[in-house]
Amino acid sequence: MRLQWTAWKERFHSFGHKIVSDEHIYLRLLALGLAVLLWFLAVGGERYSPLERQVLLPVQALNVPSELALLSDLGEVTVQVRGLGPILSNAERGVEAYVDLAGVNEGTRTVRVQVQTPTGTSVSSINPSVIAVTLEPWIEREFTVSVALVGAPAGYEPGRFFTEPTRAVVRAPRSAMGRITRLAAYVDVQNGVEERPYPLRVLDANWQDVTPAEISPQAVELRHQ
């Protein structure tokens, strides 16, 4: 039994010495590595190869000058995003499209759409790559607050009342300001007139809301005399 163990031990040492002394060992290891790489590419190549996907994104406006109002609906753009499969599948939610309006003057201008993507992805195309934007200066004007009664039956006598304050300031783009004719608080009188805050609305000659517009203050108190 001891002789058999000694014989096996000598064969093992002889085999190990042959491997170590083999002058082609590095070529053999290289060939093995290439074989493993080829297998990996064949099995998982589609998963780990670069892919492209189309993403429909709303366009945001950044750095709008404070003295100008953006009147354009920026709409959406189609973005072709490129990246590795596992990264791309998780990165679509991090893609954002925007236009940078810093330094843009009033009027209608053509600006370039820019896209921000997560690390590991890139943009192949943007359609459309440029869009038109219209900017107008903000204008402020003071209006007397009027009261519009809603739900009043025939012959209804609301009594005498006034608002606090009696005037408010409207800030609107130049073209919108030209359509404004009144600033009103709508009061529903079906259950009587309550002394409470009422929001103000910016209206045109047909009593339709005018937008965009900002009001200061946004509401008035109704008071009986």
SS (H, E, C) the chain: CHHHHHHHHHHHHHHHHHHHHCCCHHHHHHHHHHHHHHHHHHHHHHHHCEEEEEEEEEEEEECCCCCEEECCCCCEEEEEEEEEHHHHHHHHHHCEEEEECCCCCCEEEEEECEEECCCCEEEEEEECCEEEEEEEEEEEEEEEEEEEEECCCCCCCCCCEEEECCEEEEEEEHHHHCCCCEEEEEEECCCCCCCCEEEEEEECCCCCECCCCEEECCEEEEEEC
> Residue 121: which H helix or E strand, with range?
strand 121-127
Q: Give which of 164, 162, 176 is closest to 214, Cα–Cα.
A: 176
Domain at 138-224: CATH code: 2.170.120.40
> What is the distance between the alpha carbons of residues 11 and 6, in angstroms, rounded to a whole number?
9
**Is residue 158's pLDDT more than 70?**
no
Residue with tokens 């600006």: 111
Q: Taking Cα atoms as reference points, which of 200, 66, 212 lies closest to residue 142?
A: 200
Give 169-201 pLDDT, tens digit per residue: 999 999 999 999 999 999 887 777 778 899 999
**Quick check: bond before 153 cis, omega within 30?**
no
| Cα–Cα distance measured from residue 83 to residue 89, given in angstroms and rounded to the nearest whole number | 9
CB atoms within 10 A of CB 215: 19
Q: What is the pLDDT of residue 34?
A: 67
| Numbered ranges of CATH 2.170.120.40 in the chain | 138-224
CATH 2.170.120.30 positions along the chain are 50-128
Summarize the confidence of residues 97-116 as an average pLDDT.
96
pLDDT category at 157 given cuts 50, 70, 90 is: low
Report residue 38's pLDDT band, with 50, 70 and 90 as the boundaries: low
List, for residues 43-98, the tens digit of each pLDDT value. 555 555 678 888 899 999 999 999 999 999 999 999 999 887 766 766 667 899 99
Q: Report, at the CATH architecture level, how domain 50-128 is classified.
A: Beta Complex (2.170)
The amino acid that residue 39 corresponds to is W
Tell whether the model's pLDDT for residue 13 goes beyond 60: no
- Cβ atoms 170, 180 nearer than 8 A: yes
pLDDT bracket for residue 118 (50, 70, 90)? confident
